[in-house]
Structure 1
Amino acid sequence: MAASPSALPLAVMLGVAVVDTATGPDVNLLPVYATGPAIAAARGTLRNVLLMGGVAVALCVAFAAKADRLGALRMYVALAAVAYVTLATVYAAQARLWTERRLVDVQEVANTLEDLLFAPLPPTIVPVRLAASYISASRATRSGGDLYEAVPSFHGVRLAVADVQGKGLETVRCAAVVLNAFREAAPDVVDLADVSHPIESAMDRRTDGERSVTGLLAQVSPDGHLIVFNHGHPAPLLLTSDGRIELVEPAVPVPPFGLTALAGPGHQQDSFTQVTLHAGDRLPFYTDGLSEAQPQCGTVLPSE
């Protein structure tokens, strides 16, 4: 349970009072009580800061009377110092509270956008059971340049996993463009290979053109037939029900989205892999955030 915002300022002023008592009337630490409202400004509300200022004034008067200095110039100087610090910290607390409210509003907007960008996958889209995990490398946001999606279509379940080059807001924007283009095209486009065309077109129209996107487009038909188009992305692993592990790699590598024009016409004919899945087979898709991850000891994990 979090401590009260008043706890630390009161404890500090109590400590000053103990020292003031121990040192006697010759020292008199009256101005030091201003530390109470100053500390309160870091976490407390305006009311809390003013309350701590009132406590500091009361302690100043009490210890001035104890030292037989009630009405002395030293007491008035101390009270003026406490009042000045209290007013200054009220201003600082007001600025802090305004900034905190603005950050909360911005974070709520960011969370809403991230929820739209990364809607939870359904547990099942027949005949595929789905599960997803996303951990952002940034502490300030849940999303980065990686993306994933699964949608039903007349031809089976269609999936996309991709990783946008770079970092920052423009990278997140590019990820949103790719994701939305896939969501629009995947349910209706007849040939899975043609889903890449709307993605390329959206990147040309709606991004700065400075980023490429490695990605996988996959389709699992109702009879378990798997097709994977790989655009420069780490190949998925096929974990079969009988314990075998193999990479699902294309015969010919294809450049990432945004660079596929370099491959020339007809490149998609050799850039896909076909596999037949059986009950119990698992097919993990991932980005280089997993294949290049390092444990705490600093040893690089194998990518396969």
Structure 2
Amino acid sequence: MADQNPSRSWTLLSRMPIVVMAVVAVADVVAGPGVGFLPLVSLGPAFAGLVGGWRRTAVFGVAALLLCVALGVYDGLFEERRGYSALASVAGVTGVGVAAAVMRSRREVELASMRSIAEVAQRVLLRPVPLTAGPLQAAVSYTSAVAEARIGGDLYELVASPHGIRVIVGDVQGKGLAAVETAAVVLGAFREAAHDEPSLVGLGERLERSMTRELEGEKFVTAILAEIGTGHDAVFLNYGHPAPMVVRRDGTVEFPEPPAYALPLGLGAHGGECPDPYRVDFAPGDQLLLYTDGVTEARDDSGRFYSVGERAHLLKERDAHRALEALRADLAQHAGGPPHDDAAMLLLRYHGHGQGKSLPLA
């Protein structure tokens, strides 16, 4: 099992040069010149180069050379070639360690720059959803499957349009930069069309045309579109995506399925039928959770899938963001490590028109 305390591991590695050189010095003094411990002094600057900068590595290299000279004089090794070969070994390892530390420092600067660019891209691509939109409270959670990444192949957006509050949650085929490009196309089209298209079906058709026009190859996105208007209901279009979870005011859980699942966005040219819109009751006190398959397909050590319906009680927290964070933490505990797929969740709470607080949950 991996060390759960990275700072502790870092501290141990930073102390290794001192420990190693001390152990080699003691062993050399005890064993005498016949054993040949002296070249092992070079382990000091070698370990220093793993966690420190080039200056730190150079300091330990100089210390190792001085220790090598002292032990060589003590053992009388400079009367023969062994002492000079040990010095050459320490000097060579120090030089390599300094060069490696310089290269690592440059890579760290480049990585910091790339992270900064990724954070800007995140703010553009996956903008924070508004805390409230009409009668709704909203909260979002996103976990990328790519280590150190902030963005990936899942997407979400919420737009307050003249036609109602419109939402999309989707999962792009594949991972990496190609998936990010596809997500950017879908989100850009959705943000524009959500204001223009009077019907949810028309909105879905705009997304399909945008993907066909701007993307090459058979790229596709499973997605679910939702529209919450002035009535106490929500309208859905499902493009091969997991069914949403509705948590009623009394705590009961529903997973409303579409009349028929349609092909994902981007595969309309293959002759599949457009999805039919379907309505679901959504009244004050109810909650709606849209998510990607990275949530439901997360497995524990025994291979059991994550059951989001069994965790609906975690959404009783009055603050929507803390409730969703509790669900996200539970998902991470179930998976027992980094996710194997991107996982996005968008939580909507119907708190009623003109009310600033959510209604109490059962």
Residue 237 of structure 2 is matched in structure 1 by 229
3-state DSSP of counterpart to 1:3? helix
Residue 263 of structure 1 is matched in structure 2 by 272
Change (3 A) 1:71 1:112: farther
Counterpart amino acid of 1:114?
A: Q
| Larger Rg, first or second structure (1 or 2) | 1
Work out the CA distance in 2 between the residues paired with 1:48 and 1:103. 21
Stretches of structure 2 that go unaligned for 5 or more consecutive residues are 1-6, 310-362
Structure 1 residue 149, shift from structure 2 partner: 0.8
**Identical residues among aligned pairs (%):** 40
Change (3 A) 1:89 1:243: closer
Question: Does 2:25 match 1:17?
Answer: yes
Change (3 A) 1:276 1:252: same
3-state DSSP of counterpart to 2:11? coil
Question: Does 2:299 match 1:291?
Answer: no
Work out the CA distance in 1 between the residues paired with 2:293 and 2:78. 72
Structure 1 residues 67-96: Cα deviation after superposition (integer angstroms, max 9, x where no partner) = 244565432222222222222222222222
Counterpart amino acid of 2:65?
A: V
Structure 1 residues 182-209: Cα deviation after superposition (integer angstroms, max 9, x where no partner) = 1122123222221123312221232223
Contact 2:13 2:47 in 1 (8 A): no
Counterpart amino acid of 2:292?
A: T
Residue 56 of structure 1 is matched in structure 2 by 64
Counterpart amino acid of 2:294?
A: G
* Cα RMSD for the two superposed structures: 2.3
The range that moved more, 249-258 or 151-160, is 249-258
Question: Does 2:198 match 1:193?
Answer: no
Residue 29 of structure 1 is matched in structure 2 by 37
Contact 1:158 1:217 in 2 (8 A): yes
Structure 1 residue 240, shift from structure 2 partner: 2.0
3-state DSSP of counterpart to 1:97? helix
Question: Does 2:137 match 1:148?
Answer: no
The range that moved more, 112-121 or 54-63, is 112-121
Contact 1:152 1:158 in 2 (8 A): yes
Alignment of structure 1 residues 1-304 onto 2, 5 Å: 1=7, 2-3=10-11, 6-69=14-77, 72-261=80-269, 262-263=271-272, 267=274, 271-301=276-306
Contact 2:118 2:151 in 1 (8 A): no
Work out the CA distance in 1 between the residues paired with 2:301 and 2:199. 44
Structure 1 residues 261-295: Cα deviation after superposition (integer angstroms, max 9, x where no partner) = 4235xx45xx0012342110111112222222322
Structure 1 residues 222-275: Cα deviation after superposition (integer angstroms, max 9, x where no partner) = 3333211112222212222234433323324322211234235xx45xx00123
Structure 1 residues 37-80: Cα deviation after superposition (integer angstroms, max 9, x where no partner) = 12222222111111111111111121122224456543222222
Change (3 A) 1:253 1:33: closer
Counterpart amino acid of 1:92?
A: A
Stretches of structure 1 that go unaligned for 5 or more consecutive residues are none
Work out the CA distance in 1 between the residues paired with 2:286 and 2:201. 24
Counterpart amino acid of 2:143?
A: I
TM-score normalised by L of structure 1: 0.89
3-state DSSP of counterpart to 1:238? strand
Change (3 A) 1:66 1:257: same
Work out the CA distance in 2 between the residues paired with 1:49 and 1:185. 57
The range that moved more, 54-63 or 74-83, is 74-83
Work out the CA distance in 2 between the residues paired with 1:137 and 1:303. 19
Work out the CA distance in 2 between the residues paired with 1:147 and 1:223. 27
Work out the CA distance in 2 between the residues paired with 1:230 and 1:7. 57
3-state DSSP of counterpart to 2:288? coil
TM-score normalised by L of structure 2: 0.76
Change (3 A) 1:81 1:250: closer
Contact 2:170 2:292 in 1 (8 A): yes
Contact 2:245 2:253 in 1 (8 A): yes
Work out the CA distance in 2 between the residues paired with 1:244 and 1:25. 79
3-state DSSP of counterpart to 2:51? coil
- Greater length-normalized contact order (CA 8 Å, ≥ 6 residues apart): 2
